[in-house]
Amino acid sequence: MTEKKSPEAEPSRRGFVVATAVASCAIAGVVGVPAAAFIATPLRSESGGGGKKYTVGKLDELVVGIPTKVSIIGDEVDAWTRSEKRRLGSVWLLRVSEKEVRALSVICPHLGCGIEIGNDLKSFACPCHDSTFGFDGVRAAGPSPRNMDALPVELGEGGVLTVTFQRFRIGISEKKEIG
């Protein structure tokens, strides 16, 4: 500092500095803290997890050994919008035997692309990074860190199939549900 510090000027100078600091910090704090909370709104998890159950069709519509992609139709709340009877996603269904159906998420565990039937028509393949899976969902080749994600499926009265539509974290080897 270039200016001379006289003994009596010092406290008042300090007073000004403190006043400036306090006032600026007060304003910054009262704006900054709510601002951080505002931006962090999405971290306040609202979906309880567990996934909801959706009716996806009937058992006799499926052929043993041949996967079928079905849509999940339901209501959705996206921020302020509430929409009804929307396509929320799809699920692969595979009738393993007369009385048993398996459901697999179409979302590739690698980086989240939609899994399709492979060119050989005998396996699942991800069109993005060439992960391949058997019809049973077991990883065969490619970068996917885990098998395709199985979803709980129930066979109800009259052969009605109900799938629990869950989503899982992408890119890790464990199957961990989101939400």
Does 61 sit near other proteins (CB under 8 A)? yes
Segment interacting with other proteins, rule: CB under 8 A, options 59-67, 97-105, 143-151, 164-172:
59-67
- Minimal distance, residue 35 CB to other proteins, in Å: 6
* SS3 assignment for 12-45: HHHHHHHHHHHHHHHHHHHHHHHHHHHHCHHHCC
Does 31 sit near other proteins (CB under 8 A)? yes
Spatial neighbors of 27 by CB under 8 A, at least 6 apart, are none
> Of residues 10, 47, 63, 171, which one binds other proteins by CB under 8 A?
63
User: What Cα–Cα distance (Å) separates residue 8 from each residue in 12, 13, 14, 101, 177?
Assistant: 7, 9, 11, 88, 66
Binding mask 160-179 for other proteins (x = CB under 8 A): x-------------------
- Minimal distance, residue 174 CB to other proteins, in Å: 28
The first and second tokens of residue 150, run together, are 């199985």
